[in-house]
Amino acid sequence: MGILKILVVVIFGVVLHGIESLGEGLLVFDYYKETCPFVEDIVRRQVEIAVHKDPRMAASLLRLHFHDCFVMGCDASVLLDSIDEMVSEKQAAPNLNSLRGFSIIDEIKYILEEACPYTVSCSDILTIAARDAVVLRGGPEWAVLLGRKDSLKASFDGANKYIPSPNSSLETLIANFQQQGLNVQDLIVLSGQDQRVAPLDFRTPARFDNHYFLNILEGKGLLGSDDVLITQDYEGEIRRQVWSYASDQTLFFDSFVKSIVKMGNINVLTSHEGPSHGPFHGPSNPRNGKSAFRRKKLQATPTMATASPSGRSNRDGTAKAMVADHISQSVRSTSNLLHLMQQSSSAQASSLSLAQLRKLPKNLLAKASTMRNTGKILEQMPQVVSSLDAYVEKGLESIPRLQTVVQLLTNMESSQLKSLSQFQHPQEESESLHQPKDVD
């Protein structure tokens, strides 16, 4: 009985994507629940492809998020190219010829524009991608607050001023972090964050772990700003904290999550603040959003502007395949739940309210219908859902009826996959999924 309840909770989480939010903050966890429910799945898949091809890309994506947030806040200004009088942050000394991962963000943005036009901000993409990069290298996972808007202004001077130098003194590092609303604890946790998922950590080069702290305790920090955490800590407070993290990875992971979430909330533009900072893109203002994305595309996404027809077709196929894949996963989750109920007693089966069970396919349908290019996938679903409703209303306490419901769900999955094949070239899709274009 306990296992059944746990599985029900898990599956509901998969299908409904949760409704948790941060009541006192400007960002929320479920910002794209209605407008682009697959956003985190799409970002995760593209980050997985990039990191599998180049493990160092995990560090690059985390660093990109860090360098974005430290200049005017987490607003994707780091992605903007120079235009007219505006000099790109990419040209600033801390970023020039060192930041990577721009093409990965471009690729993710393109796919999301196909799935959910003018909806997901680049600043949210950067934040999700940073989280996924950490997770893919063995680090902690956390829920990402969403709802940031993008700036159309870059700050070359700000990038030179606020991004810590590899040779900064401890006093300068503390001042830099305090200017961002971060404290010494955040400095310790976030300093060298990109090194922990890069070959610069010679102990465990492919993992996100606490060995960075062991390195600096032994005087083996690879940057000057690493060693000053110890050598210039005259009161010993930082050294004691470094020892704590070096000896307790769980403690470090917990602290890292708190600090990275805090950093991701620096000076964010939201639907309420966006207009005062210039155009932004997002569902609350489609006109500004469309204009902003076009300018963003010209400035920050050269791969979009120069994509060949075949490249566009591959991306279209990738977006469609992702939609189909996640619909299939939701259907299979529902089917698995019903199979489990079949193997349970009648009392256990009836413990799941019929009203809750009825929501599963309906939410699945509603979720899929928000996605672009899925019309043919959905053509055969309403009839299946209607039939399922009829069986649910008759009472799923009747175990023999469950087999029929499971079959209906299986048919639903088969129907959407068959429909997908009618408007997509399988070979083209395979190439887009398994042979991604080169990354930075």
Q: Which residues pair with 83 in a beta bridge?
A: 86
Q: Which two tokens stand for residue 118?
A: 């003018």
Task: DSSP for 336-376, please give it.
Answer: HHHHHHHTS-HHHHHTS-HHHHHHHHHHHHHHHHTSTT-HH
Do 358 and 392 contact (CB within 8 A), yes or no?
yes
Instruction: Say whether 75 counts as a known binding-site residue.
Output: yes
Helix, strand, coil % in the chain, rounded to nearest 5: 60, 0, 35
Q: Which residues contact 218 (CB under 8 A, 6 or more apart)?
A: none
Instruction: Say whether 150 counts as a known binding-site residue.
Output: no
Burial zone of 271 (CB within 10 Å; 0-12 exposed, 13-18 middle, 19+ buried) = middle
Closest CA to 50 of 129, 102, 99, 104: 104
- Residue identified by tokens 């000076």 is 267
Instruction: Say whether 71 counts as a known binding-site residue.
Output: yes
Q: Is 67 a catalytic residue?
A: yes
Q: Which of 17, 67, 277, 281 is catalytic?
A: 67
Determine the Cα–Cα distance for residues 123 and 146; give it in Å rounded to an integer. Answer: 9
Instruction: Say whether 164 counts as a known binding-site residue.
Output: yes
Instruction: Say whether 440 counts as a known binding-site residue.
Output: no
Do 32 and 115 contact (CB within 8 A), yes or no?
no
Report the binding-site residues: 68, 71, 73, 75, 77, 89, 164, 201, 204, 209
Which residues belong to the active site? 67
Report the binding-site residues for Ca(2+): 68, 71, 73, 75, 77, 89, 201, 204, 209
Report the binding-site residues for substrate: 164
